[in-house]
């Protein structure tokens, strides 16, 4: 009985720690995402957004950020955003929209964008804005794109040539384009939530994965891999989302102030994402991780091996959109 009472006390205290009591009349925004790490682009952007709202809109609005997937994973969060009750904002990776729309598939085509600057320009174009806006029919409003960065590939053996990936099992995000990308290499892709990746690599459920430097460092994937090959073969970026149902219920003045703060944080943080990823790359090396750089010829071989994926999806995505995206490469 005594133990039970202590248990209840601990649980109540924990609940208060996570969700401080709301001030009467204050609007609470629960912001859920899956990453963590003090040098992670999304983690920092979400914290900065909350800090500015909580300072400037004190007493009216409070943002509570739930990082590390402690509230929902990125697939469940889309459903919860549509409902607009348990969570109000989120920033899932652009590779996690397969369950509600195919419009984001363009972002997963391997070797489509040369760098994050090209991604940025495409997102700012009419095409990028239209993709974000298309979510409205689903009950979700896309407010902005946040950058993470370029993806690298790792496995429990060296990956130098595309043939090295053959026969290996790779974890992928919830994207059919990424499934096709690994099948193209003769590998076996497996969709899996971000939270499960470290354990799956450690126990050999999968042999490899693809991710940005900041995700590879903050989740310590490099510790359970032979090394990371610097392929820069794709991107991981985010859509900053708000539940449409929740958004519509807000007073106009609150809505515009929140949108302005998102825009402000987006402009500042997106400019720093590249630098942060390079810092994370350095930290992997400092921690004893192995990074393999590829020669232009080696990288071209990966490009050639993966490129047929474009043909598989170009009908659905539209060749005009693919061409528009490529036009932003310098």
DSSP annotation of 93 reads B
**CB of residue 174 to ligand LMR, shortest distance in Å:** 8
Of residues 199-218, those binding ligand LMR (CB under 6 A)? 211, 215
Alpha helices, H only, the chain: 2-18, 41-56, 74-83, 116-124, 126-133, 176-184, 197-203, 213-218, 244-248, 252-270, 273-286, 296-306, 308-317, 319-326
* Closer residue to ligand LMR, CB minimum distance, 170 or 302: 170
- 236 forms part of the interface with ligand LMR (CB under 6 A): yes
- 280 forms part of the interface with ligand LMR (CB under 6 A): no
* Closer residue to ligand LMR, CB minimum distance, 69 or 128: 69
**CB of residue 86 to ligand LMR, shortest distance in Å:** 19
- 173 forms part of the interface with ligand LMR (CB under 6 A): yes
The pair of three-digit structure tokens given for residue 21, joined into one six-digit string? 């009591």
The pair of three-digit structure tokens given for residue 27, joined into one six-digit string? 């609007």
**C-alpha span between 235 and 147 (Å, rounded):** 9
- 34 forms part of the interface with ligand LMR (CB under 6 A): yes
**CB of residue 91 to ligand LMR, shortest distance in Å:** 8
- The alpha carbon dihedral of 73, 76, 82, 86 has a sign of negative
- 231 forms part of the interface with ligand LMR (CB under 6 A): no
**CB of residue 108 to ligand LMR, shortest distance in Å:** 11
**C-alpha span between 184 and 305 (Å, rounded):** 7
- 35 forms part of the interface with ligand LMR (CB under 6 A): yes
Distances (CA, A) of 36 to 64, 111, 174, 194, 315: 15, 27, 20, 11, 37
Among 32, 120, 148, 270, the residue binding ligand LMR under the rule CB under 6 A is 148
Which residues make up the interface to ligand LMR (CB under 6 A)?
Answer: 34-35, 93, 148, 173, 194, 211, 215, 236
């Amino acid at each position: 009985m005594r133990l039970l009472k202590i248990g209840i006390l601990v649980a109540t205290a924990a609940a208060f720690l996570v969700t401080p009591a709301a001030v009467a009349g204050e609007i609470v925004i629960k912001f859920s995402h899956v990453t963590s790490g003090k040098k992670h682009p999304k983690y920092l952007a979400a914290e900065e957004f909350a800090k500015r709202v909580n300072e400037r809109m004190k007493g009216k609005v409070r943002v509570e950020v739930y990082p590390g997937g402690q509230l929902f994973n990125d697939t469940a969060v889309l459903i919860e955003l549509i409902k607009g009750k348990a969570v109000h904002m989120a920033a899932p990776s652009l590779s996690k929209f397969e369950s509600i729309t195919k419009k984001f598939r363009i972002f997963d085509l391997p070797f489509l964008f040369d760098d994050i600057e090209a991604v940025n320009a495409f997102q700012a174009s009419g095409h990028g804005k239209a993709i974000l806006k298309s979510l409205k029919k689903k009950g979700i409003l896309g407010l902005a794109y946040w950058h993470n960065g370029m993806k690298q590939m790792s496995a429990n053996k060296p990956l130098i040539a595309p043939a090295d990936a053959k026969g290996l099992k790779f974890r992928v995000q919830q994207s059919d384009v990424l499934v096709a990308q690994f099948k193209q290499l003769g590998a076996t892709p497996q969709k899996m939530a971000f939270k499960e990746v470290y354990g799956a690599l450690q126990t050999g459920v999968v042999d490899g994965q693809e991710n940005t430097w900041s995700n590879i460092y903050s989740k310590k994937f490099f510790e359970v891999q032979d090394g990371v090959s610097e392929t820069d073969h794709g991107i991981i970026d985010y859509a900053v989302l708000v539940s449409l149902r929740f958004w519509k219920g807000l007073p106009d003045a609150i809505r515009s102030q929140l949108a302005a703060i998102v825009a402000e944080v987006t402009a500042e943080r997106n400019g720093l994402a590249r630098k942060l990823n390079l810092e994370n790359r350095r930290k992997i090396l400092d921690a004893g991780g192995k990074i393999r750089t590829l020669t232009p010829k080696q990288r071209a071989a990966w490009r050639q091996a993966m490129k047929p994926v474009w043909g598989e999806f170009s009908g659905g995505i539209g060749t005009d959109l693919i061409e528009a995206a490529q036009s932003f490469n310098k």
